[in-house]
Amino acid sequence: MKSKNAHKDHFDCAEIEELAQKYIDGRLTDHEDKLFKEHLEYCVPCDKKLKFELQLKEFVQLKSKEEVPTEKLKRKLNKLFEELN
């Protein structure tokens, strides 16, 4: 796995999916981060997916603080799912 993407000049969608969690956690290298963002600029499905993941993370964090009612969360998540499809 060491420097697997070091020589790459682009990511495909499968790679974006693989790297999404790392991106969210801020663990991508500068090079990966750049390619990741470039991909999102022209690939709408990946962009949407990532936004969904980020929202999900936000929701989970909010929920863990018990600040957002579950029903409201469910509605928002359903809406996001609809947008994805």
Contact (Cβ atoms closer than 8 angstroms) between residue 74 and residue 41? no
| Least separation in angstroms between CB 32 and Zn ion | 15
| Count of residues near Zn ion by CB under 5 A | 3
Give the torsion through C-alpha atoms of 14, 56, 40, 83, to 10 deg.
Answer: 100
Task: Give the helix ranges, DSSP H, for the chain.
Answer: 13-24, 30-42, 44-64, 70-84
- 46 near Zn ion (CB under 5 A): yes
| Least separation in angstroms between CB 11 and Zn ion | 8
Stretch that binds Zn ion, among 21-29, 45-53, 55-63, 77-85 (CB under 5 A): 45-53
Residues that bind Zn ion (CB under 5 A): 13, 43, 46
